[in-house]
Structure 1
C-alpha cells in the first residue's frame, strides 16, 4: 500500500521513499539538489533521511 501524503505522523519521517514522487520532490527542494540526484543518492546510500541529508550536503559543497 502506498504512503498517503495526507497522513502525517512519525512512522516514516526518518526515511525517503524513492517511489513516491512527492517525497523525492520535497527532499530535493529541501536540500537544494535535483530529483534525479535524490534518486541516485537513495540508490547508492539507502533511504535513511539522515544519511541522505549528509550526502546531499556534500553534493552542494562540490
Structure 2
C-alpha cells in the first residue's frame, strides 16, 4: 500500500523517515533541530526516534 500524503498523523512516530519531506518537517520541529542536524543524528544513531533523541541529548 502506498503512503497517503493526506494522512499525516501518528502513523509510526517510532521511526524517522528522511525520504519524505513532511516527515523531515515534522521531526525537525518536534526535535528543535535543523534538517542537517537531523540527517547527521539519523546517520549516527539510526532511524529510531528514541535513539535520535538520546543522541541529540548527549550531543548538546
2: CA distance between counterparts of 1:25 and 1:7?
A: 11
2:52: which partner in 1? Answer: 52
RMSD: 2.1
The alignment of Structure 1 onto Structure 2 pairs a total of residues equal to 59
1:6: which partner in 2? Answer: 7
- Flag structure 2 segments of 5+ consecutive residues without an equivalent: none
2: CA distance between counterparts of 1:35 and 1:46?
A: 15
Q: TM (normalized to structure 1)?
A: 0.71
Q: What are the within-5 Å matches in structure 2 for residues 1-62 of structure 1?
A: 1-2=2-3, 4=5, 6=7, 8=9, 12-59=12-59, 61=60
- Flag structure 1 segments of 5+ consecutive residues without an equivalent: none
2: CA distance between counterparts of 1:24 and 1:5?
A: 16
Moved over 6 A (4+): none
Q: TM (normalized to structure 2)?
A: 0.72
